[in-house]
Amino acid sequence: MVGPDRAGAVSGGGRASGGSRGAGASGNAVSFPAAAAMEPVPGPQEKYHLITRNLQEVLGEDKLMAILKERELKIYWGTATTGKPHVAYFVPMSKIADFLKAGCEVTILFADLHAYLDNMKAPWELLELRTRYYENVIKAMLESIGVPLEKLKFVRGTDYQLSKEYTLDVYRLSSVVTQHDAKKAGAEVVKQVEHPLLSGLLYPGLQALDEEYLKVDAQFGGVDQRKIFTFAEKYLPSLGYAKRVHLMNPMVPGLTGSKMSSSEEDSKIDLLDRKEDVKKKLKKAFCEPGNVENNGVLSFIKHVLFPLKSEFVVLREEKWGGNKTYTAYEALEKDFAEQVVHPGDLKNSVEVALNKLLDPIREKFNSPELKKLTNAAYPNPSKAKPAEKGTKNSEPENVVPSRLDIRVGKVISVEKHPDADSLYVEKIDVGEPEPRTVVSGLVQFVPKEQLQDRLVVLLCNLKPQKMRGVESQGMVLCASSVGEPRQVEPLDPPAGCCAGERVYVEGYEGGEPDDELKPKKKVFEKLQADFRVSEDCVAQWKQRNFLTKLGRVSCKSLKGGSIS
């Protein structure tokens, strides 16, 4: 599924990453030719072409053609409700338009349970909010390209995945699937860690069962889900269920030439980005003259704009030849490769076409209700508003907890500092090839033997600093008592955590930490001012819990204390 689509929206299909069904398109919508009921009904061969065009691979071509000769194909696409969808999600949306043109019965699955199973990419308390956000934004995207929503079926995973029958099939499947096959199947989709959770091993099996419980002939996804698809083909028959057809989109490069990622700001354009942000990001996009490889701008034209309108207009000034309309993508790619089309003109033309797609989405999400939903579902927006003059507790721009690289560490060795009686020199494993050297002032608070082999919480992206001649490469985070005598206790990760696991603040799990915190910016100091220990000894920032995938970070006894 896409974490972003259940295979990532980057792949243009599969599982990524409420709302009522509507019909028709918004005022700025792109025309959707399939909506014309008067057009001749396509034959099996034409349907096959529409269903498979621009795909990288089809598993079960003969079965697909056999079904099309008898009846309409039933197909589904699923998206795990994790990070915010971005413009690469138009790639699977464009294929969904193709499926409808071919007369397919299409189901869209909002895979909320999968979002939680994939290493808690969507925390349980945010699951409902994010699912509602996905439902609204996916429907808005479909409306913006003119897809009639009444022709689609929308389903949430938890609508049927918690039923007695489905749960029994999960147990039946787990009795025949090997751990090796489950891990291999999810290798390209499920977040990989040294000690995988059981939930990640269940993920491929549940996705396979979805094919049976949604009563479809085929599943559509990105090519990065191929291992899950072959897993389904292998194991569904062992439960007495039929093999399905599997349709796979290619991996579509992002604006930087690599994959389009929710965590790489310059690689993606958000669906709610302002026009000036779209211009800025496209201006920086990788689009080398004559280079058609890993060109995210060309890929967007090929996989989204051409399928929607069957043409693309390059806008240029008269002195450079004037506007030129292409009715075949191959001709555009050839002209770009031969440098007949300039990258600047190509970017400007994509900007105009993309804004036409985004305008109705922006308009819909400008309502107070959807603004509130967006902020609640994703409490760590990529651009925090600067503090207003005279307000209290306002969050300064970009000073958010996700900028801190906080990890679980295991203390391998502890020695007294050779030149300072109050300092320890520790070697701490944080999941890197070599342990880090960390100097901490814990001698008078924690006996050496209590630190040895202990799990701690380490801030890893402070600038290394020499402390009495020994370079310290991190900071052990500790709770401190408020009154005298001063007491200090290292924060405790949940039992079962492994060295290197990320520690994050609730609601801020999606951002990428800085490579190194710049001392002059005082990012840590500003955030640390709001670090506290709750009355039940849980570490918090602004009353939001510090978490790992296994639960809350805490201390032993220092209720109401500070954290430093």
pLDDT per position as a tens digit, 40-71: 678 999 999 999 998 999 999 999 999 999 99
Q: What is the CA radius of gyration of the chain?
A: 26
For residue 498, the model assigns a pLDDT of: 86
Q: What mean pLDDT is predicted for residues 424-451?
A: 90
Binned at pLDDT 50, 70 and 90, residue 15 comes out as low
Binned at pLDDT 50, 70 and 90, residue 196 comes out as low
Residue, of 165 and 2, whose pLDDT is higher? 165
For residue 3, the model assigns a pLDDT of: 43
For residues 261 and 254, give the distance between their C-alpha atoms in angstroms, rounded to a whole number.
7
The 10s digit of each residue's pLDDT in 482-530 is: 777 888 999 999 988 988 888 999 888 777 888 888 888 888 988 988 8
Q: What mean pLDDT is predicted for residues 229-233?
A: 96
For residue 12, the model assigns a pLDDT of: 44
Q: What mean pLDDT is predicted for residues 370-396?
A: 59
Q: What mean pLDDT is predicted for residues 148-170?
A: 93
Binned at pLDDT 50, 70 and 90, residue 315 comes out as very high
Expressed in percent and rounded to 5, the helix, strand and coil fractions of the chain are 35, 20, 40
Binned at pLDDT 50, 70 and 90, residue 122 comes out as low
The model's pTM: 0.61
**Maximal CA-CA distance, the chain:** 87
> What does 274-318 look like in DSSP terms, one character per residue?
-HHHHHHHHHHS---TT--TT-HHHHHIIIIIHHHHS-EEE---G
For residue 511, the model assigns a pLDDT of: 74
| Cα dist from 423 to 153, 426, 444, 469, whole Å | 63, 10, 9, 12
Residue 507 has φ and ψ, to the nearest 5°, of: 90, -5
For residues 74 and 107, give the distance between their C-alpha atoms in angstroms, rounded to a whole number.
8
Share of the chain above pLDDT 90, in %: 51
Residue 138's closest CA among 164, 156, 119? 156
Judge whether residue 262 has pLDDT over 90. Answer: no
Q: Where are the alpha helices (DSSP H) in 378-453?
A: 448-451
Q: What mean pLDDT is predicted for residues 457-468?
A: 90
Share of the chain above pLDDT 70, in %: 85
Q: Are 11 and 250 in contact (CB under 8 A)?
A: yes
Residue type, position 456, single letter: V
